Structure formats: structure tokens, C-alpha cells
Structure 1
């Protein structure tokens, strides 16, 4: 039997940037906790000064920087702030997404252009913009991980235009991996969870019903937890995933294998 390896993931002492913590329900928060448990040093980046004040209460003295990715000057300021730390970062978690559902859900073909392009800017283009701006602070073999979804081919009305945007995010992984390969070994991957119970998802009209339905379809009859998705992100951020590049690693507790569960079909076709 081999000796135990307390730092099996190889994250102890590594510095990792985590973008997107809103509160303790955030995927980014759970990823950060997993990284810290593995001995990594986490640098937090949040959207606003108000968010920084609330996150600082959760993390104490750990550094928190502010960057609203809609604004190029703030991305450049983040670059300068991180350069000033003198660190090389072994990983970057991009857990940022936004869609405006304040007017309720519209049929997909009625999606407002402005809403679509803003969501694309924040949810997809920001990964490209941040990767480019921060390339000089990333280690030569750093791992960049974003948060996608388990499928972009299911036309869920209450997710609407965000699915095509996540599809663009998934596609960008291959192009980022290719372009970065010209000067580094930086990897770009995504974790693709099924429905999660987060504060952000709670703002999607009809999401709760979809979440409860997912629980019925998942073979174990229990929804995927945020921690389960975060654990996969931690793995992707670690050197142990060095052979994985330009992939969306699906984490759905088997939901995609069980859409035609006999009990679910019976209840749908013969409601009592």
C-alpha cells in the first residue's frame, strides 16, 4: 500500500483567483472553500464595493478586489492590482453570469437584442477579456475554469436565451486553449452542473418547479448540490486534471440518463 498523500490534488501553497462570490450559496463560494481546505491561497474578486463589504465579513483578512466585468477599465485595474501582489496564480475560477429576467420570460424569438448582448458580454465575453488581461499573472501551466451548464441543447423556456450564451462560452474554451497554447500551457475547462439551489437561480422565473422536477428525474431522487459541482471545479483547477483541456465536465448526478423514468412518465401521462 502506498503512503498517504495529504496534498493529493497538489493545491497546497498555490494561489488561485476566484471571481463571482455573492454569498454562501454561490458556486464560487463553495469552490473557494474547497480550495482553502486543500491548502490553496484564494484571492477573491467581486463585482462591487457593496459586495466586497459583505464578502469581507465572511472571509476576514483575505484579499478581495473589485471588478465589474462590463467595464474594460475595471478589468485593467484588476490586472494592475494582481500584478502588484507579485504572485503568479495557478488557477482562475470564472463564476460570472447575468441575464435580465425582470420583464418576465418571453418566447425565445422575442428576446430583446440589448438584453441578449449584455448577457453575452457579462457571461461569455468576460472570460475572454479576463484571460487576456490576466495572462501575465497566470502561471505557465495555470488552470482556468468557468461555470457552464449540463446541456445547451434542451430548450427550457425558463432559461431562455442564456443557453445559447452558455453554448458560446463552451465553444470559447477550445479557442482560448488554442490561442494560449502558442505561449503557455494554460488550460481552459468548464464544470457543467445540472440545476442548483443558488441565489442567482432563484431569480429565474419558474426555476423552482424545474429544480423539483430534476429531483424526480435524477436516479437518486435528490438534486445535485452546489458542493458537488464545486468539488469538480476544484479538481479541474488542480494539477491532477492536467490532461483535461477545452472540456465541459458534466456534473448532473445522472439526470441526463433518466429523462424517461417510468414513474415520472406515469405521473405525467396519468396524473392522479
Structure 2
């Protein structure tokens, strides 16, 4: 089988050809959202993008040349409503939505969790979690009856990682909302809501988090295969969840961490830590 045949086989398996997917959250070519878009386009889907500002749209002009790019700052309800109105005006029905949006403000670097300010926490909840609810509500009449919504979570919200600041509780709220959205939308549709709960990734956004790089390097040691998760692995899982092939999966968070969570007590790592303590 040549590469063309292989690509066609993948496209046929996912059954996404001619499906229309709205992707929110592309920041650059290293974004998880952009990696998902590449998989979807390879499967024959029609991809529409939504970015947070005109300046972001301009910065992505070369990367997304020839693509439909809309602007929507999810902190502004009027812009969310305008996004929905634009889709109505264009007669677009959405078969899938990718919500890859997160923001946390660390003006003084990572501080102890109990020092998180009200403004920091509420802004992060608004952008990173509530935006999923608000956008889906605005687009409820634009979704196909059996549309699939996929958001990007994290592999665990119970691990008190100091390098992630206060974002784990925010992601916990995001992932919890999946069950409630699935339930409430079931009153009038079969729209599914799921998350890809990713392990530590090498992205431009994550690189800007104080201490994240060290945690990423540690993750590579803990993961049994000794190799970190890639954005392509997350993207492939997201594409599956967006496809009709995953029609029986709803209100779930699929962990993509290459089994990191089973290996925290790896003998080599334990030995290295205890040896330091002895020294």
C-alpha cells in the first residue's frame, strides 16, 4: 500500500470527508489545535477556524492561507454571538467543534495556590472553562444533530503540580462540564462532548509557563517509553472523537499520557531521588 492509499484508508475509516469542523484556539504552527486541523484536513474534512483577535488572524495569515478564519474573543459574549450569527449568515452547519482555548495570568510567576487572586482565577475559569459552555449554547442551532465537541484537558487534575499554577482546578471544571453539557443537549440532539486529557506537551504556550520545561523533562523520564507525548498523538485522538467512529463515546475524558500515571514509582527514578537524599 502506498502513502496515498494509506491516507485514503485513514480518511475512509474516520468518515469525516466533507464534514465541517470549527476549530477554536490556533495560535501558531505548534498549537494542538493546528495539529488537529492537519489530521482533519487529511481526512477530507472542511475546517473553519476561529481565533481570538484580528492581530492573531493577521499573524496566522501565512499559516492559514486560503482558509476561512473568523474572529471571536471568548471573553466577549457579543463576539460569541456574532460568531454564531456569521455561521447562520453563511448557512454553515457544524459537524464538530474543537475547543482548544486556555489562559492563565502569572504576572509574578508561579505562586503558592492559596495566593491565587480572585481576578486571576475567575478570568482563567471564564476563558478556559466557561467559554466552552457559552460557545456551545450560542452555536446550539448550528450543530448537526449528531455533532461532536472535543475540548483539550490535562491528564490529571488531582496532581498538585506546582509548575502548572492554578490551572488544574480550572481544567477540572472544564472536564466536569462535559457530563452536564451532554445531558442538557440530549433534550434536543445527540451532540456529544468529550475531552482529550493530554500529558505534558511541547507547545509555545506551555513553554511560557514558569517551571514547565523542567516538568516536561521529568515526564519524559517517568513515561515508560521514555518519550513524551506529541501533539500529533493528541491530534489523532481528537480526530477519532470528532468522527462518527466514536459515536458511542460521550461525556468522557480520554487520557493520552503514554501511561505516565502508572509509573511514578519507577525504580530508576526512586533510586536517583533517594541517592540524592543520602548525599
Q: How does 1:65-80 map to 2 (within 5 A)?
A: 65-80=70-85
Unmatched 5+ residue regions in structure 1?
none
CA distance in structure 1 between the partners assigned to 2:169 and 2:129 by the alignment: 10
SS in structure 1 at match of 2:13: coil
CA distance in 1, matches of 2:237, 2:107: 32
**Distance in 1, Cα, partners of 2:64 & 2:102:** 22
Q: 1:9 aligns with which of 14, 20, 31?
A: 14
Paired position in structure 2 for 1:215: 220
CA distance in 2, matches of 1:11, 1:192: 22
**2:175 alignment partner, SS class:** helix
Which residue in the other structure is 1:199 paired with?
A: 204
Shift of 1:102: 2.1
1:256 matched to 2:261: yes
State the TM-score, normalized to the length of structure 1: 0.97
Secondary structure of the corresponding residue to residue 188 of structure 1: strand
Return the alpha-carbon distance in structure 1 between the equivalents of residues 221 and 109 of structure 2.
26
List runs of 5+ in structure 2 lacking aligned partners.
1-7
Shift of 1:87: 1.8
Which residue is equivalent to 2:46? 41
**Which runs of 4 or more aligned residues in structure 1 lie more than 6 Å from their structure 2 counterparts after TM superposition?**
none
Structure 1 residue 84 displacement after superposition: 1.5
- CA deviation after TM superposition for structure 1 residue 106, in Å: 1.2
Distance 2:231 2:106 in 1: 22
TM-superposition CA deviations, 1:182-218 (whole Å, max 9, x none): 0000000000010000011011110000000000000
Deviates more, 1:4-13 or 1:46-55: 4-13
CA–CA distance in 1 between the matches of 2:193 and 2:90? Answer: 23
**Counterpart Cα distance in 2 of 1:217 and 1:103:** 29
Q: Is residue 26 from structure 1 mapped to residue 38 from structure 2 by the alignment?
A: no
In structure 1, which of residues 225, 230, 245 is the aligned counterpart of residue 250 of structure 2? 245
Q: TM-score, normalised by structure 2?
A: 0.95
Shift of 1:65: 0.1
Residues 114-134 of structure 1: CA deviation (Å, up to 9, x unaligned): 000000000000000000001
Query: How big is the alpha-carbon RMSD for the aligned residues of Structure 1 and Structure 2?
Result: 1.1
Separation (CA, whole Å) in 1 of partners of 2:118 and 2:163? 18
Please name the residue that 1:184 is paired with: 189
